[in-house]
Structure 1
Amino acid sequence: MEIDLRRYLMVIKRWWWLLIIGAIIPAIISSYFTAKQPALYQARVTLMVGTTLQSSNPDTRAMQTSNSLAQAYAELVRYRPITEAVIQRLGLERSHEALASQIVAWVRPNANLLEIRVTDTNPKAAMMIANALAEELIRQSPGSRQGQRQQQQEFIKQQLDELEEKIEKKKAEIADLNDSLADLTSAAEIADTMARIDALEQVASTYRTQYAALLQSYMGDSVNVLSIVEPAVEPRRPIGGKAKLIVAMSAGAGLALALGAAFLIEYLDDTVHWEDGRQQAVAGLSILGAVPRMSSRRKTWAAIDRFRYPEIEAIRNLRTNIFLSTPGTSLDTILVTSPEIGDGKSFTVANLGLTIAVTGMRVVLVDADLRNPTLHEMFDRPNVMGLSELLSGDSPISESRPPMELQPTGVDNLFLLSSGRPPTDPAALLVSPRLPALLDTLEKFADVVILDSPPALIAPDAAILASIADGTLLVVSEGQTSNGAAAKAQALLSSRSGVNLLGVAFNRVKLVETYAYYSRYHDDGHGPVAKLRGLVTRWRRQESEDRPLVGLDEAAERLGISKGMARRWCKEGRLPAHKSRLRWWVKREDLENLVESLRNGDAEIIRET
């Protein structure tokens, strides 16, 4: 579980910029559009359904009925008969659908209160629409017609007063008859009076029954009655809206999408990753170290004097691990190769050679990449004569002295054997018996010979050289080399007999605190950085004679270097040339003399005349 969590954190750390962009861009876009929306105001009017709350003895069933009616009125207020009546009454220039979208109605449970809320960009219009909706709802409700109910109440009150007067009159008549019974002596008169009393009692009872019925109607609850409890007032402040919520949700959604995209990319990504040095192996090979990432402005080897101390320490760590990878075995010849083009094997060769040379050991770098040589450009050296001429020549290779094609790099104890002219069949030259003899001579001259070869999966040259070298280092590029390519290269090299795969070196790695720790030590001018800077030299030359001229393309071809490198030499004055009409021109005779001198080993540096 801990390993998985660490991998997830590594993904977040690697793609932090995507997560930030994924959250910021949706937040900015949503905030922009929400800011363009006008301010909204909301007015509220409250109505009461029924009259049970005004009764001293409310009926529970009537309250439940009123609550159900309130739910119905909450839906009815958004219907066309109500909205169109309000539109016509207020003279609004909007459709029924538009007005209905501005209305929100809801019922407070167990209170029989209906709230109608209207939202509008105009606060006064919101108030007027809310009150008009309430009044129109009251007007169109069957039991809430104010005029009719008032007339009914007045009529009932009048009837009650008349019945009360009649009842009192009958009671008086009955009382008078009862008083007259004492003066009567005739049985017939008494019987007649008693009959009249009974008749009056029946009439009075009828009046009382009618009175009770009318009184109940007058005082009783009305369920389907609407009345305004709190009218709407003009709102003073706009409602808060959901702008912040929308922005937050947009940012969250963008962050979630970016995180999902990052994990999807990582899932589909088959490239190797340094993972701060915690990974133990690639393609079954031990990881020996890393070469730090450098900016494109520092690709020229002369820029090594601007290396920071942590970068140098990282390369030293790789150097140390290489020699410790085979205890008890001498590594006189080391091959550096990579699975594919662009992994940075040549730059690793140059870095490794420099750090070994700093220790006082003599190092020879051999550019055995006869298909795409680059080491001579890293060290600003010509490529007129080199490995291809030595392997294709007829003269025997001297065992007592190094070949004259070997060039100083300007760094003490570090020498370069460039590739020379591109051969027609590089693999045929590398299987020549002259190559082992040449390596034996170089091993006598130097303590360590480092070979740079083509990528292992591009040409068979790497496999041929690996079988000759004492050890082979496989260079992979952080985030570029695929695990499949690394595994294929490992299998291809291991299939050759006599191949000793030392391990894997990462290239273009971003430094972490492990190496940055050493940068705390002070460099007082006598430390490693000052020593490296003192080892680097630059060539200068200048000559001005009036002779036949050649163009920059031809000069670069004769020297075996790129046009860009020849242009830089012209700017630095190391190649005799002058600029005319935005073009560089080189004197042909000087160029031929220079090439001949380089072939004969008579010219190491183009000196000022």
Structure 2
Amino acid sequence: MSERKGTSGPLRDLNEELSESSNEERPANKEGNYWLRKKGELNKDGVPYGEWDDSRMLVPSSLELGPGAVDRYVISKQIVRMQEPRRLTPGDMDERRIIYPESSNMALVNRFRDLRTRLLENSGGNNFTMVVTGTKTGAGASFVALNLAAAFAFDQAKTAVIIDCNLREPTLHSTLDVLPEAGLTDFLDEPDLDISRIIYPTGIPRLRLIPAGNRREHPGEFFTSFRMKQFLMAVRRRYPDRFIILDTAPVTESPDARILAEICDYSMLVVPHGGVTSGVVENAAASFNPKKFVGAVING
């Protein structure tokens, strides 16, 4: 990673491969949402598709964190058996500009692999929670967040969850062709809501989505709640092989990214190439704790 004067972390330039149009919503599947059609059916093991092997391990009562919590679950052995009710085809992935190991655009794949490797080196190989935010609307933060999560899911010994925390303009459910009935804010607002109701398969092996949710009137109130902090702690501690990426509204337009960065391990800034001044980048980077700020990705 190259260093830029005036920033508090390394800047990663992904060059021309990351398009500023990557945050545009994709058209829904003409045949209707696959997950909703499959929801009432049983998989080959006789389990409803709405009950995912990984999500059943964390329910509201499991938010009580105690000694040996992780030891009660054999996480790694379950990863390879995670149910995937549908798979996005290579054409689907290319259309949505999502990386995958067999992609013809290996330059882009390798850039995200390199970014993943640097983050793993920074964390000492441990899993982590990370906020990804942009310097402005359209910077491509959702694009970077989703592809970084996909890169972690390449490894058959790891899983990833991407959480749509952009409550003002959530897009990840559209990109992944998911029509959610409930999401993060519903879980935070309803103590009795089972977390399996908000974890959705993405069509990408070992990658799950938690959509924004239906209740979005006062975003800051959700993110400053004790339940949000408890939720992130529980997901990370109970899934030691899972990497959690939070996609947020631009840090220059909302306090959400700064709020969430305080309760996450790391924060990353996405900068549109030529789209903002160096002063804007420096001010945005200064919004984060320098000990948690891993740097900026140039997207353009």
TM-score class normalised by the smaller sequence: 0.5 to 0.7
Other-structure match for 1:406: 199
Q: Please show how residues 28-47 of structure 1 align to structure 2 within 5 Å.
A: none
| Aligned-partner Cα distance in 2 for 1:473–1:298 | 17
Other-structure match for 1:432: 225
Aligned partners of 1:334 and 1:473 also within 8 Å: yes
Structure 2 letter corresponding to 1:287: L
Q: Describe the SS at the equivalent of 2:196.
A: coil
Identity level (%): 27
1:421 to 214, 219, 234: 214
1:343 to 113, 120, 139: 139
Other-structure match for 1:287: 11
Q: CA deviation at 1:506?
A: 1.4
Q: Please show how residues 404-553 of structure 1 align to structure 2 within 5 Å.
A: 404-443=197-236, 444-445=238-239, 447-494=242-289, 500-508=292-300
Aligned partners of 2:266 and 2:293 also within 8 Å: yes
Q: Describe the SS at the equivalent of 2:162.
A: strand
Residue 307 to residue 454, structure 1, CA distance change in 2 (3 Å): farther
| Aligned-partner Cα distance in 1 for 2:107–2:289 | 34
Q: Please show how residues 188-587 of structure 1 align to structure 2 within 5 Å.
A: 279-281=2-4, 283-284=6-7, 285-290=9-14, 292-294=17-19, 300=26, 302-303=93-94, 304=98, 307-324=104-121, 326=122, 328=124, 330-360=126-156, 361-395=158-192, 402-443=195-236, 444-445=238-239, 447-494=242-289, 500-508=292-300
Higher helix share: 1
TM-score, normalising length from structure 1?
Answer: 0.34
| Aligned-partner Cα distance in 2 for 1:461–1:375 | 17
Aligned partners of 2:127 and 2:242 also within 8 Å: no
What do residues 412-454 of structure 1 show as CA deviations (whole Å, max 9, x unaligned)?
1000000012511100111111112221332224511111111
Q: CA deviation at 1:481?
A: 2.6
Q: Please show how residues 110-189 of structure 1 align to structure 2 within 5 Å.
A: none
What do residues 276-323 of structure 1 show as CA deviations (whole Å, max 9, x unaligned)?
x8x522642212352723495996563246551111111111111222
Other-structure match for 2:45: none
For structure 1, which runs of at least 5 residues remain unmatched after alignment? 1-276, 509-609
| Aligned-partner Cα distance in 1 for 2:145–2:287 | 21
| Aligned-partner Cα distance in 1 for 2:104–2:23 | 9
Say which structure, 1 or 2, has more relative contact order (CA 8 Å, 6+ apart): 2
| Aligned-partner Cα distance in 2 for 1:288–1:425 | 33
Residue 440 to residue 297, structure 1, CA distance change in 2 (3 Å): closer
| Aligned-partner Cα distance in 1 for 2:180–2:275 | 30
Structure 2 letter corresponding to 1:280: E
Q: Please show how residues 7-86 of structure 1 align to structure 2 within 5 Å.
A: none
| Aligned-partner Cα distance in 2 for 1:430–1:356 | 25
| Aligned-partner Cα distance in 1 for 2:5–2:190 | 40
What do residues 30-52 of structure 1 show as CA deviations (whole Å, max 9, x unaligned)?
xxxxxxxxxxxxxxxxxxxxxxx
Other-structure match for 2:88: none
| Aligned-partner Cα distance in 2 for 1:298–1:341 | 9
Residue 283 to residue 476, structure 1, CA distance change in 2 (3 Å): farther
Structure 2 letter corresponding to 1:346: S
| Aligned-partner Cα distance in 2 for 1:383–1:482 | 37
Which stretch shifts more, 299-308 or 470-479?
299-308
| Aligned-partner Cα distance in 2 for 1:295–1:478 | 8
| Aligned-partner Cα distance in 2 for 1:349–1:378 | 12
Q: Describe the SS at the equivalent of 1:429.
A: helix
Q: Describe the SS at the equivalent of 1:449.
A: strand
Q: CA deviation at 1:331?
A: 4.3
TM-score, normalising length from structure 2?
Answer: 0.67
Structure 2 letter corresponding to 1:451: L
| Aligned-partner Cα distance in 1 for 2:5–2:134 | 13
Q: CA deviation at 1:328?
A: 3.6
Larger radius of gyration: 1
What do residues 356-387 of structure 1 show as CA deviations (whole Å, max 9, x unaligned)?
10012110000011111111111111133101
Aligned partners of 2:182 and 2:197 also within 8 Å: no
Structure 1 letter corresponding to 2:189: S
Other-structure match for 1:129: none
Q: CA deviation at 1:485?
A: 1.2
Q: CA deviation at 1:327?
A: 5.1
| Aligned-partner Cα distance in 2 for 1:493–1:280 | 17
Structure 1 letter corresponding to 2:208: F
Q: CA deviation at 1:404?
A: 2.2
Residue 411 to residue 328, structure 1, CA distance change in 2 (3 Å): closer
| Aligned-partner Cα distance in 1 for 2:270–2:233 | 25
Q: Describe the SS at the equivalent of 1:494.
A: coil
| Aligned-partner Cα distance in 1 for 2:224–2:23 | 35
Q: Describe the SS at the equivalent of 2:287.
A: helix
| Aligned-partner Cα distance in 1 for 2:212–2:221 | 15
